[in-house]
Amino acid sequence: MLAPTLSVILACILSIAGLLHTLWGFGVTFPAANEQQLARMVVGKRGITKMPSMTACLFVAVSLFAFAFLAL
C-alpha cells in the first residue's frame, strides 16, 4: 500500500523538477532576479555568469520527465 503512494510522490517531485528545467531552458529566471543569480543558485559553480544552453536544460527536463513516468 505504501509503494504506490511513494511512486506518485516521486513522480510529482521529478515532474516539478522537469518543469523548472523546461522553464529555465526557455529563459525564465524563476526563482532568481536575473540569469547570473539563477546560474549561481542552480549550477553552484564559482564565477558562473550564464545558465547552461537551452539544449542542456531541455535534455535534463526530458530525462526527469522520463524518470517520473518510470516511477509511475
As a whole number of angstroms, the distance between CA 35 and CA 50 comes to 6
pTM over 0.75: yes
Is residue 30 in some structural domain? yes
Host domain of residue 30: 7-71
Q: So what's the pLDDT on residue 2?
A: 81
Residues 25-63 pLDDT 10s: 999 999 999 999 999 999 888 889 999 999 999 999 999
Is residue 1 in some structural domain? no
Is residue 36 in some structural domain? yes
Q: At what angle do helices 2-25 and 54-71 cross, to 10 degrees?
A: 170
Q: In sequence order, what E strands does 6-61 have?
A: none
Residues 4-20 pLDDT 10s: 899 999 999 999 999 99
